[in-house]
């Protein structure tokens, strides 16, 4: 009974003194519930079947991500408990002096952990249940769902899942706490607050050398993922820069404090001003713990900044380009003039379906009419032919530059045949799409390309001026010294790797026809009517899906619709953003909590030192300034290095996502990320400062 009462008393004291710890637990529970309860509203969202499938996929991915989040939160809780127990060493020493055994102390900690867990779980679930309703509204807005049947919903499965995950976490905490208490010795407990950490690094020259070496490692890692990004195409090649970044971060923090303290000590006007000497000695006393914690926190902040900025830039780019790249309701295409066999990418393909071979000789419109489609459901119909030949490939286009290009980009399929379109056909399609039309003289060609990396490669060749190409046995020169913008098929982003426009009198043969391409709009006015026509071309497998029916009859026509592309694009962007927000918030809360608890613990341990400051004549303003600077340095150092990491990390991400994420969209994404981080990180900083002031005043 005494142990129970003591546990309750200690818990109430902890609730008052360590509100940040409880706040973090509550936020962890709430966020975990929110992101795992999305399925509770899915049934009520009036969306298409494809969107439901995307939401289902997102929920599945979030389920796997939640396992990782649970591990992070579990480690965070163990770490936080360790700090809280260390802070109470003197208290436990007094218990042992009064005759209490380690087992009884373990029971006290066990009961406190249970109380804390139950309170944080209940409060977190309540907050999470209400917040999840807003999360469901956000999902519906992003997926443009009908909210007329929306209602308040409690996710029983998510609640059970949250309780189970956090129960496992607290069991781990109890286990570690028991082990920690079993190792305590009375003398160490009673003198815990008087013992400083042993400072191992005292040689300033060594600190300078380590700092330069760490900076050099980071500089080389930055170069590898930006200037030499073309070589970072496999996990094996990406791993060394990642390891160098981690090692460089550790070395920077290992040397930075000693280096700064040594430099400031030589600047007497700064070192002896106000309480600067006290602040620097405080940091110096905790240098060993700071190296480990600052490195981990820096990397977590780096991941938060990079993940949020890159994902938001990706979503902004996809939303912006989606309307531009889907100018019509329908694209259909099929292979033209199928032979008995043909080679593609070094693989032989044999065509045994005679019906498909016969149909490949006819335009798509003719095939649709012959198979019973009422063409009145479509309007603005434009159909063109796309040509290609194995005698004119990417390798032939690059010509003398081929070896140089292949060395830099060995993964490209240079045996790919170039797509060739006659200028009049392209202009018909461009007019329908509302994009630029072009003119050509009889000896000229134009390269259309809007995929950034391929554009850069082609522009280096075209920059030579009047670059000659031999097409269908006739030589042509480039009209422009760079690629022009344009496309013939819809997409979710700029992914056109190259189309060669040639004059209408170019001697392209019937055998060179590679594909028929048909574009059209639905001949209706309302969204409901469009959905009905959509079922013909992109509905579920069944008689209403014309594409599937043709395939069952041996006729292969592929295609995509504006509606399906927009749903898929919105779905992908939403999945990326949700996972980014989920992970970003967890990493940000974890790093902020670690810093806050560490500083509060140090403020508690160092109350006697602040008392000494008062005795030697420092007023409360100077003491508060000393505390503010100390906490500011601890919060600022990992953030500054994380921001430097992020400059290069985001650049690498944009290079990898070239074509679907644009650097122009980076600034708004960075601003949003700064606002999110400023709100959470800044709140933890201020809460830590206010909490520290209360502790040192006791």
pLDDT digits (tens, 9 = 90+) for 472-501: 889 999 999 999 999 999 987 788 889 999
Query: Ranked by mean pLDDT, which of 45-49, 194-198, 259-263 comes out on top?
Result: 259-263
Write the DSSP assignment of 504-537 as a string of letters.
TTS---GGGEEEEEEEEEES-SSHHHHHHHHHHH
Res 151: pLDDT:
63
Closest CA to 652 of 229, 348, 38, 237: 229
The better pLDDT of the pair 640, 142 is held by: 640
Please say which residue of 157, 176, 195 terminates a domain. 195
Res 425: pLDDT:
94
Res 199: pLDDT:
46
1 part of a folded domain: yes
In the predicted model, what is the mean pLDDT of the chain?
A: 77
What is the C-alpha separation between 259 and 653, in angstroms, rounded? 33
The better pLDDT of the pair 185, 689 is held by: 689
Check whether 667 has a pLDDT greater than 90: no
Both tokens assigned to 66: 């939640």
Check whether 429 has a pLDDT greater than 90: yes
Res 201: pLDDT:
47
Both tokens assigned to 419: 């797509």
Say what the pTM is.
Answer: 0.68
Res 345: pLDDT:
46
Q: What is the β-pairing status of strands 468-471 and 499-502?
A: unpaired
For tokens 């601003």, what's the residue?
671
pLDDT band at 54 (very low <50, low <70, confident <90, very high): low
Both tokens assigned to 285: 């006393």
For tokens 């043909």, what's the residue?
342
Res 349: pLDDT:
53
Check whether 37 has a pLDDT greater than 50: yes
SS (H, E, C) 287-331: HHHHHHHHHHHHHHHHHHHHHHHHHHHHHHHHHHHHHHHCCCCEE
Of the listed ranges 188-192, 595-599, 640-644, 670-674, the one predicted with least confidence: 188-192
Of the listed ranges 132-136, 297-301, 404-408, 657-661, the one predicted with least confidence: 657-661
Of the listed ranges 32-46, 369-383, 413-427, 512-526, the one predicted with least confidence: 32-46
Check whether 448 has a pLDDT greater than 50: yes
Check whether 210 has a pLDDT greater than 50: yes
Could you tell me which residues come within 8 angstroms of residue 186 by beta carbon, excluding any fewer than 6 positions away?
93, 96, 97
Closest CA to 392 of 500, 530, 283, 238: 500
Res 499: pLDDT:
94
Please say which residue of 559, 574, 604 terminates a domain. 559
Q: How much is the average pLDDT of 393-401? A: 87
661 part of a folded domain: no
Q: How much is the average pLDDT of 547-576? A: 76
- Compute the residue count for the chain: 698
Query: Ranked by mean pLDDT, which of 28-42, 500-514, 621-635 comes out on top?
Result: 500-514
Q: How much is the average pLDDT of 232-239? A: 67
Looking at the 3D structure of the chain, how many domains does it have? Answer: 2
Check whether 47 has a pLDDT greater than 80: no
686 part of a folded domain: no
Q: What's CA 488's distance to the chain center, in Å?
A: 31
Query: Ranked by mean pLDDT, which of 366-370, 582-586, 672-676 comes out on top?
Result: 366-370
Count other C-beta atoms under 10 Å from residue 624's C-beta: 18
pLDDT tens profile 587-616: 888 788 878 877 777 777 677 777 777 877
Res 501: pLDDT:
95
* Contact yes or no for 495/659 (Cβ under 8 A): yes
Check whether 572 has a pLDDT greater than 80: no
Check whether 365 has a pLDDT greater than 60: yes
Task: Give the single-character DSSP code of 47.
Answer: -
Res 385: pLDDT:
92
The better pLDDT of the pair 531, 152 is held by: 531
The better pLDDT of the pair 312, 39 is held by: 312
Res 615: pLDDT:
79
97 part of a folded domain: yes
Could you tell me which residues come within 8 angstroms of residue 669 by beta carbon, excluding any fewer than 6 positions away?
308, 309, 310, 311, 312, 313, 316
Q: What's CA 117's distance to the chain center, in Å?
A: 31
Range of the domain at 415: 328-559
Both tokens assigned to 422: 């006659």
Please say which residue of 139, 174, 195 terminates a domain. 195
286 part of a folded domain: no
pLDDT band at 516 (very low <50, low <70, confident <90, very high): very high
Check whether 688 has a pLDDT greater than 70: yes
Res 109: pLDDT:
72
653 part of a folded domain: no
Q: How much is the average pLDDT of 624-640? A: 85
Of the listed ranges 109-113, 388-392, 623-627, the one predicted with least confidence: 109-113
Check whether 50 has a pLDDT greater than 60: no
SS (H, E, C) 613-655: HHHCCCCHHHHHHHHHHHHHHHHHHHHHHHHHHHHHHHHHHHH
Check whether 541 has a pLDDT greater than 50: no
Share of the chain above pLDDT 90, in %: 11
333 part of a folded domain: yes
Res 421: pLDDT:
94
Task: Give the single-character DSSP code of 332.
Answer: E
Q: How much is the average pLDDT of 620-632? A: 83
The better pLDDT of the pair 69, 124 is held by: 124
Check whether 685 has a pLDDT greater than 80: yes
572 part of a folded domain: no
């Amino acid at each position: 009974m005494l142990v129970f009462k003591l546990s309750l008393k200690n818990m109430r004291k902890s609730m008052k003194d360590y509100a940040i710890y409880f706040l973090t637990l509550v936020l962890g529970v709430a966020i975990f519930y929110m992101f795992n309860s999305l399925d509770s509203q899915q049934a009520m969202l009036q969306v298409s079947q494809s969107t439901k499938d995307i939401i289902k996929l997102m929920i599945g991915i979030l389920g796997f991500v939640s396992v990782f989040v649970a591990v992070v939160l579990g480690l965070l809780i163990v770490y936080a408990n360790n700090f809280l127990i260390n802070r109470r060493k003197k208290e436990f020493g007094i218990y042992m002096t009064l005759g209490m055994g380690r087992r009884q102390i373990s029971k006290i900690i066990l009961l406190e952990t249970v109380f804390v867990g139950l309170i944080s779980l209940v409060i977190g679930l309540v907050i999470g249940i209400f917040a999840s309703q807003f999360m469901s509204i956000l999902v519906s807005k992003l997926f443009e769902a009908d909210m007329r049947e929306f209602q308040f919903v409690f996710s029983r499965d998510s609640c059970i899942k949250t309780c189970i995950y956090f129960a496992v976490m607290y069991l781990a905490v109890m286990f570690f706490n028991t082990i920690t208490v079993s190792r305590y010795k009375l003398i160490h407990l009673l003198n815990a607050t008087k013992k400083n950490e042993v400072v191992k690094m005292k040689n300033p020259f060594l600190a300078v050398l380590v700092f330069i070496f760490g900076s050099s490692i980071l500089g080389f890692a930055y170069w590898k993922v930006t200037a030499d990004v073309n070589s970072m195409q496999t996990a094996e090649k990406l791993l060394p820069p990642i390891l160098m970044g981690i090692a460089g971060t550790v070395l920077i923090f290992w040397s930075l404090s000693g280096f700064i303290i040594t430099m400031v000590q030589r600047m007497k006007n700064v070192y002896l001003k106000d309480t600067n000497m006290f602040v620097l000695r405080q940091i110096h006393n905790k240098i060993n713990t700071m190296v480990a914690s600052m490195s981990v926190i820096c990397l977590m902040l780096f991941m938060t900044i990079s993940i949020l900025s890159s994902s938001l830039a990706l979503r902004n780019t996809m939303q912006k380009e989606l309307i531009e790249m889907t100018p019509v309701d329908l694209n259909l295409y099929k292979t033209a003039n199928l032979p008995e066999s043909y080679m593609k990418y070094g693989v032989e393909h044999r065509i045994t379906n005679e019906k498909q071979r016969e149909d490949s000789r006819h335009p798509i419109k003719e095939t649709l009419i012959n198979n019973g489609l009422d063409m009145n459901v479509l309007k603005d119909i434009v159909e063109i032919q796309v040509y290609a030949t194995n005698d004119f490939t990417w390798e032939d286009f690059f010509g003398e530059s081929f070896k140089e290009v292949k060395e830099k980009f060995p993964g490209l399929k240079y045996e790919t045949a170039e797509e060739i379109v006659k200028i009049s056909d392209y202009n018909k399609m461009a007019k329908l799409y509302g994009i630029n039309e072009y003119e050509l003289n009889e000896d000229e060609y134009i390269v259309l390309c809007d995929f950034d990396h391929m554009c850069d490669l082609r522009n280096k060749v075209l920059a030579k001026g009047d670059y000659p190409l031999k097409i269908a046995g006739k030589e042509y020169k480039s009209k422009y010294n760079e690629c022009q913008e344009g496309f013939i098929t819809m997409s979710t982003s700029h992914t056109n790797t190259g189309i060669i426009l040639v004059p209408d009198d170019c001697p392209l043969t019937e055998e060179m026809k590679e594909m028929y391409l048909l574009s059209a709009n639905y001949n209706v006015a309302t969204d409901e009517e469009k959905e009905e026509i959509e079922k013909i071309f992109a509905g579920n497998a069944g008689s209403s899906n014309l594409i599937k029916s043709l395939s069952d009859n041996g006729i292969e026509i592929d295609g995509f619709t504006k509606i399906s592309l927009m749903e898929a694009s919105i779905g992908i962007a939403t999945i990326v953003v949700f996972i980014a927000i989920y992970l970003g918030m967890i990493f940000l809360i974890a790093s902020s909590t670690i810093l806050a608890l560490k500083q509060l613990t140090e403020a508690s341990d160092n109350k006697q030192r602040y008392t000494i400051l008062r005795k030697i004549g420092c007023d409360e303003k100077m003491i508060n300034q000393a505390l503010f600077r100390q906490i500011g340095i601890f919060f600022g150092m990992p953030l500054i290095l994380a921001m430097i990491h992020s400059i290069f990390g985001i650049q690498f991400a944009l290079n990898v996502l070239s074509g679907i994420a644009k650097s122009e969209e980076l600034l708004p994404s960075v601003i949003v990320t700064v606002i999110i981080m400023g709100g959470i990180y800044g709140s933890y900083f201020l809460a830590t400062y206010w909490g520290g002031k209360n502790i040192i005043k006791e």
